[in-house]
A = this chain, B = another copy of it.
Amino acid sequence: MNKPALAWRRLPSSPLTSGNSDPATPDCALTRKFDSFVRLDATDRDLLNALVREPLLGTAGQDLFQEGEQAEHAYALLDGWGCRYKNLGNGKRQIINFLIPGDICDVYAFVSRKMDYSVGLLTDANVAVSSLSNFWDLLWSSPRIGQAFFRSTIIDEGILRERLVSIARRNALERLSHFVCEMWARLQRVGLTVGDTAPFPFTQEQIGDTLGLTAVHLNRTLQILRTQGLISVQNRTLRIHDPKQLREIGGFDSSYLSIEEMA
């Protein structure tokens, strides 16, 4: 999570947009996510998809920015995975949240400019980059886009609260179950689930770092879910065999992720 610096190559052409079936209008993950919050019209989609035109290719292990830096750009993941994280003095690390395709990396930047966390890439990734002011303009270019953005930040905060509850009050098995349910729901929103499978590129250490558990203990806990026949993980792909029981164990209630339609 700390390669030397941001040495990005510009993609020459046709960025990979993943998980979308319609070849005529290949919405990027950000567009898909926003659209799931607020029905967008064609103009909105074009405005958002324009972000994709010149994505930068980041590589696994690279940081988009680090704690303490001044924010200068807005980043959104188009494909690929990342995480917000903090390093503690004693060498420990806490992952605040994973970032999946469609996620915006640094809302915080819009006000503070000085980041209190880092964002790193877990995989190679296409990243939409734009100046803060351009992104700001985009948000105000349409009321629907602005609303969708606002909702996505609100949901991020809800995810944070729910994670806090998980870590503070649930044991390892409950935590992990809840986490799997949450990732599933988030991936579904951007159309990345296929049947009962979903991409799952995390190492066990990374999952441990988000759930406040040791990699060792996470491993043992994962084995329980596997031997109980609830999930399986192969080839960086998650398969959920018994979603109902998984939700039950984790005490998962998806309402914090999917905001009701506004009155």
Q: Do B260 and A168 have beta carbons less than 8 Å apart? A: no
**What chain B residues lie within 8 Å of A94 (beta carbons)?**
164-165, 168-169
Q: Report yes or no: A157 in contact with B108, Cβ–Cβ below 8 A.
A: yes
For A89, give the chain B residue with the smallest CB separation: B251
Interface string of A151-193 (1 = CB under 8 A from B): 1001001101111110111100000000000000000000000
With A and B bound together, what is the CA distance between A89 and B211 in angstroms?
A: 20
* Interface hit among A20-28, A51-59, A109-117, A123-131: A109-117
A interface residues, Cβ below 8 angstroms from B: 68, 86, 88-90, 92, 94, 96, 108, 111-114, 116-117, 147, 150-151, 154, 157-158, 160-165, 167-170, 211-212, 251, 255-256, 259-260, 262-263
Given A108-B158, A157-B157, are A86 and B255 also a contact pair (CB < 8 Å)? no
A96 CA to B113 CA, complexed, in Å: 25
Q: How many Å from the CB of A206 to the closest CB on chain B?
A: 14
Inter-chain contact B111/A151, CB cutoff 8 Å:
yes
User: How far does the alpha carbon of A90 sit from the alpha carbon of B250 in the complex, in Å?
Assistant: 12
**Assembled-state Cα–Cα distance A25/B11 (Å):** 59
CA distance A263 to B133 in the complex (A): 13
Write out the residue numbers on chain B whose beta carbons fall within 8 Å of the beta carbon of A88. Answer: 165, 169-170, 251
Query: In the complex, A68 Cα to B260 Cα: how many Å?
Result: 11
Find chain B residues with CB under 8 A from A260 CB.
112-114
Offer 16 A-B interface pairs, CB within 8 angstroms, sorted by A. Answer: A68-B255, A90-B251, A111-B151, A111-B154, A111-B259, A111-B262, A112-B151, A112-B154, A112-B259, A113-B262, A114-B255, A116-B161, A116-B255, A160-B164, A163-B164, A169-B212
Cβ–Cβ contact B157 & A212, under 8 A: no
Contact indicator A169/B111 (Cβ below 8 Å)? no
A168: chain B residues at CB < 8 Å are 94, 167, 211-212
Q: Smallest CB-CB separation from A70: which chain B residue?
A: B263
Q: How far is the CB of A155 from chain B (nearest CB, A)?
A: 8
CA gap between A68 and B259 in the complex, in Å = 11
How far does the alpha carbon of A228 sit from the alpha carbon of B239 in the complex, in Å? 52
- B113-A169 in contact (CB<8A): no
The residues of B that contact A169 with a CB separation of less than 8 Å are 88, 92, 94, 212
Q: A117: which of B108, B150, B161 is its contact (CB, 8 Å)?
A: B161
Cα(A168)–Cα(B169), bound, Å: 11
Q: How far is the CB of A175 from chain B (nearest CB, A)?
A: 10
Determine how close the nearest CB of chain B comes to the CB of A104; give it in whole angstroms.
Answer: 14
